Homo-oligomer: A and B are copies of this chain.
Amino acid sequence: MSTAIGVSGLAHLFGIVSIILLLVWLLHYREGIDYDSDDGLRVFNVHPLMMFLGFIFLVGEGVMAFQTVPNQRPIPKFVHMTLHLIAIVLGIVGLCAVFKFHSMRNIADVYSLHSWIGIGTFCLFGLQWIFGFVTFLVPGAQGPTRARVLPWHRAGGRVLLFMAICAAETGLMEKSGFLNLKPYQRETNLVNFLGLTILLFGVFVNMSVGIR
């Protein structure tokens, strides 16, 4: 148990470092963040911020809630469900931002590998949330059914976080291509380090719940 706490500590650390790097990138190197701007790129920047905060950071923290929140029922379960609900709301805002950007610039929607992975992850996550809610909260299934479903719910969650991180990494890669970032430029390295800290966040969340 104490090892799991150490590993989840590393996860928190890489999560926070990722937020800082992402903000430095969007606010200092890029155009800033504003959903209502006339500058399409400022609208677009809402997308990486919301998707990371919602679908990676909060999802990861939600996954770890059973380790990190005082184990007094039903608190961890409630925190788990709520963080994932907030993640869905932030995800919707982030998706709206990218669709708004595309319509401002007449760009096609949902054609790249990044978007296919991302949309797929979002839809499956919604299903997993509804499924988890009715099985474990309201109305909640019988004990034996819960016990049978729980390993699948866990595996599904692990896989969804993994898919969300694949979406983030492909998104960073796609944006690096659009920006035509050159080798060893300062911004190139920043984006790469951001990609690595996001990956390490996923790795340590996975390990903090998976060493058994």
Contact = CB atoms under 8 A, between A and B. Distances in A.
The size bracket of the interface on A is 35 or more
B206 A158 contact: yes
Nearest to A189: B111
A147 interface: no
A39 interface: no
Contacts of A206: 155, 158-159, 162
A138 interface: no
Contact of A165 (B166, B172, B212): B166
Contact of A195 (B113, B158, B178, B202): B113
Contacts of A114: 173
Given A108-B183, A188-B111, A210-B155, A169 B166 contact: yes
Interface string A178-200: 10000110001001100110010
Contact of A210 (B158, B176, B211): B158
Contacts of A203: 159, 162-163
A183 B151 contact: no
A212 B151 contact: yes
Given A163-B199, A169-B169, A113 B158 contact: no
A93 interface: no
A116 interface: yes
A12 B112 CA distance: 25
A117 B195 contact: yes
Given A151-B211, A162-B203, A163-B203, A196 B108 contact: no
Contact of A162 (B116, B151, B202): B202
Given A113-B195, A170-B173, A177-B178, 9 more contacts: A108-B183, A111-B192, A116-B196, A151-B211, A162-B162, A162-B202, A166-B169, A166-B199, A170-B172
